[in-house]
Amino acid sequence: MDRIAEAIKARRTSMGWSLRELGTRAGVSASLLSQIETGKSQPSVNTLYALVNVLGLSLDEVLVDAPANPAGHEEAQQPVAAAGGLSVVGADFTQVAAELDADDRPHWDTVMRPGTRPTLELESGVVWEKLTDSADALVDCLLVTYQPGGSSSSSGKLTQHTGVEYAYLLEGTLSLQLEFTRHVLRPGDSLSFDSSRPHLYRNESDRPARGVWFVLGRRPGGLPPAALQALGLSTDR
């Protein structure tokens, strides 16, 4: 059984949920969940986001074998309800880092060499590579590859999740459907938007598209109160 299957099944059973109950909460069929948990199927990007958000899992917990939580941090025992995304405009991230308690700060000095990064191959031609070795609750940092025909949703439907999404395209071309507007991204293009807005990525070319993605505050509660205040965001959750 692969890491993602183990993490999802372990958290679901610890919550005392059946496949049907988790499926209802995440909007995923019980049969697909069963295939994911037995390693017979990989989730699409939107399915994975739905599952980890409902279960309160971090990407560390589905990408790496080591414990995702740094020393002194308790693992969440309750699921995190999906909520509206954060809106961060002109944030002073130096101030954010300064406001964080020492225990909340990720380890910035870790170097990861090519070939050593945890990698997850998702359904419909999408590959995630984790770019940091720290268990960072503040941001998901990923090298994402969309193979020709690859899409963030196997059903072709727009998806949404908590957080603010930033990306820089390194190579290839990628289509982004953001609500009612379609954008074609080319090498050197960057983007940012509130991830609670419905969106869909699709590689409509015959070459892989690859870029760096940051999703800030994907998990509600991932940003500590000091960081929310520094960003000018409400601490009411």
One of 3.40.710.10, 2.60.120.10, 3.40.50.620, 2.60.40.290 is the CATH number of 93-230, namely 2.60.120.10
Greatest mean pLDDT among 15-19, 63-67, 95-99: 15-19
Percent of all residues in the chain with a pLDDT value above 90, rounded to a whole number: 22
- Mean pLDDT confidence for 35-49: 81
One of 3.40.50.720, 1.10.260.40, 3.40.50.300, 2.60.40.1080 is the CATH number of 3-63, namely 1.10.260.40
Q: In the predicted model, is pLDDT for residue 137 greater than 70?
A: no
Query: Where in the chain are all domains bearing CATH 1.10.260.40?
Result: 3-63
Confidence band, pLDDT 50/70/90 cuts, at residue 134: low
Question: Coil, helix or strand for 190?
Answer: strand
Alpha-carbon distance of 75 to 84, in angstroms, equals: 23
How many CA atoms are closer than 13 Å to the CA of 219, on its beta-carbon side?
Answer: 23
Task: Name the one residue in this structure whose structure tokens are 């760096």.
Answer: 212
**pLDDT at residue 63, rounded to an integer:** 67
Q: In the predicted model, is pLDDT for residue 212 greater than 90?
A: yes
Q: In the predicted model, is pLDDT for residue 211 greater than 80?
A: yes
Confidence band, pLDDT 50/70/90 cuts, at residue 50: confident
- The structure's pTM equals 0.57
Alpha-carbon distance of 210 to 66, in angstroms, equals: 27
DSSP secondary-structure letter at 192?
A: E
